[in-house]
Amino acid sequence: MRRYLETARRYRWVIILVLALTWLPGAAMAYLEYITSYEADATIWTQRTSQQFASLSPQDPGLSALVSPAQEQAGILMQLLKTRSFLEKIVERTSVGAPGAEGDEQRFYDEFSKRFRIDILGTNLFRLAYRARDPHTAPEVVLATLDQRQKNLLASRTAATDAGTSFYRSELSLAENQALDTQHELEAFDAAHKPPLSASEDYQQRQLRLALEDARSRVSDIKGRIDRSGVMPGLLEMADNLDFQVVDKPLDTARPSGGTRPAATIAGSAMLAGIALAIALIVGGILLAGRVEAESDIGRLVPGTLVATIPEVPRGKSGRARELRTALATVAFGGAAPAQARADR
């Protein structure tokens, strides 16, 4: 420990310079981040989707996951905020501005995504926050994010409904053709067989009539499904408005807020970097001093034969560091050696 303290005292001005070059810019950057950060947040109440509107299957992996409604909705929103298409639509709805050059687009959206924060407040409550450089952009981005989430959800449900409607229409076409063919068969049978009918002919006629009624019933059922599928998006939107409610809307903040954590991260990183450089400088100084003071190094530097070595060179009362040659001369020849050594130099 003594060697480390002595090396630190020997290089104290260099260490002070290194710490100043790392700590002062870090402190300035942390202060700038703190005074230019304005955060706005919205509190959302959510609950499970009503089972009558939820399209679930036994193979759905989400059924076995024991997550709260807030965790489920927050997770969905967090995944959307990691997609570039969703972020592009948010930027278009706000005054954030375009990313600029194509090379800076990826960095722009990465930085834009990192400014969001989602906190789980309870079983049904979570908070969405955004940190901006001015007090008006933050609430604008939060509201645009919630609106775009609603728009994406409605678009996905409309697409699913359209796919179901297309399937039902194809089934309706087949059912109508089958009913038309059955009706033609019944009409042809009635035209070819006049009463009185035999037992076998009466049985065949009743089978054709039952088949025609069944085909017409299937056509009516498919038409009802098509009508219900057209109303379903409106019902799902109404159900989502009940299951996803913005309790507290974001407000404009005149004072800086939300920059404490980033500022502390920047200041802490600068402090750790300065300490690491200082430790590296002290260790390097110890290794360098140990290399010069080794017996083999002294033997290589001195032109004559190595007669003896001194394990440790004592310091004077002044505590000032001395050159190795001068210190050895002082120990060997007394007080007159320093003047002679200065004359030799």
Chain segment 68-91, per-residue pLDDT in tens: 888 888 888 999 999 988 998 998
Interatomic CA distance for residues 139 and 250, integer angstroms? 5
Do 187 and 245 belong together in one domain?
yes
List the structure tokens of 118.
């989602």
Q: Side by side, which strands form the sheet with 116-120? A: 116-120, 125-132, 38-46, 244-248
List the structure tokens of 245.
């409610």
Specify the pLDDT at position 127. Answer: 92
Specify the pLDDT at position 133. Answer: 81
Last residue of a domain, one of 258, 280, 314: 258
Question: Does residue 246 fall inside a structural domain?
Answer: yes
Specify the pLDDT at position 63. Answer: 43
Question: Does residue 22 fall inside a structural domain?
Answer: no
Residue in 198, 180, 177, 196 with CA at minimum distance from that of residue 188: 180
Residues with Cβ within 8 Å of 309's Cβ and at least 6 positions away in sequence, in order, are 295, 298
Do 167 and 311 belong together in one domain?
no
Question: Does residue 295 fall inside a structural domain?
Answer: no
Domain count, the chain: 2
Interatomic CA distance for residues 296 and 164, integer angstroms? 88
Q: Which pairs from 187-191 meet CB under 8 Å and 24+ separation?
A: none
> Tokens 């807030």 map to which residue?
70
Interatomic CA distance for residues 248 and 14, integer angstroms? 54
Specify the pLDDT at position 315. Answer: 53
Question: Does residue 189 fall inside a structural domain?
Answer: yes
Question: Does residue 285 fall inside a structural domain?
Answer: no
Q: Which pairs from 165-171 meet CB under 8 Å and 24+ separation?
A: 165/226, 165/229, 165/230, 168/222, 168/225, 168/226, 168/229, 169/226, 171/222
pLDDT > 90: percent of the chain: 8
Question: Does residue 98 fall inside a structural domain?
Answer: yes
Do 155 and 53 belong together in one domain?
yes
Specify the pLDDT at position 268. Answer: 86
Do 215 and 335 belong together in one domain?
no
Q: Is the peptide bond before 196 cis (omega within 30 degrees of 0)?
A: yes
Last residue of a domain, one of 258, 275, 295: 258
Do 104 and 221 belong together in one domain?
yes
Do 77 and 181 belong together in one domain?
yes
- How far, in Å, are 31, 36, 46, 294 from residue 268 at the CA level? 12, 19, 37, 39
DSSP string, 45-73: EE-PPPTTT----TT-GGGG----HHHHH
Question: Does residue 13 fall inside a structural domain?
Answer: no
Eight-class DSSP state of 321: -
Specify whether the backbone of 125 is left (phi greater than 0), alpha (psi in -120 to 50) or beta.
Answer: beta
Q: Give residue 316's domain range.
A: 303-345
Last residue of a domain, one of 224, 258, 292: 258
The letter for the amino acid at 336 is A
Per-residue pLDDT of the chain (345 residues; tens, 9 = 90+): 777 777 778 878 888 888 888 888 888 887 777 766 788 889 999 886 544 444 444 444 444 456 788 888 888 899 999 998 899 899 888 888 777 656 678 888 888 898 899 999 988 899 999 988 888 888 899 999 999 988 888 777 777 777 777 888 888 888 889 889 988 888 888 888 888 888 888 888 889 889 889 988 988 888 888 877 777 666 666 666 667 888 888 887 766 666 567 778 878 888 888 888 888 888 877 777 655 544 455 445 445 454 555 555 555 545 454 555 666 666 666 554 444 445 454
Residues with Cβ within 8 Å of 114's Cβ and at least 6 positions away in sequence, in order, are none
Specify the pLDDT at position 308. Answer: 55
The CATH number of residue 125's host domain is 3.30.1890
Interatomic CA distance for residues 176 and 223, integer angstroms? 11
List the structure tokens of 133.
């450089």
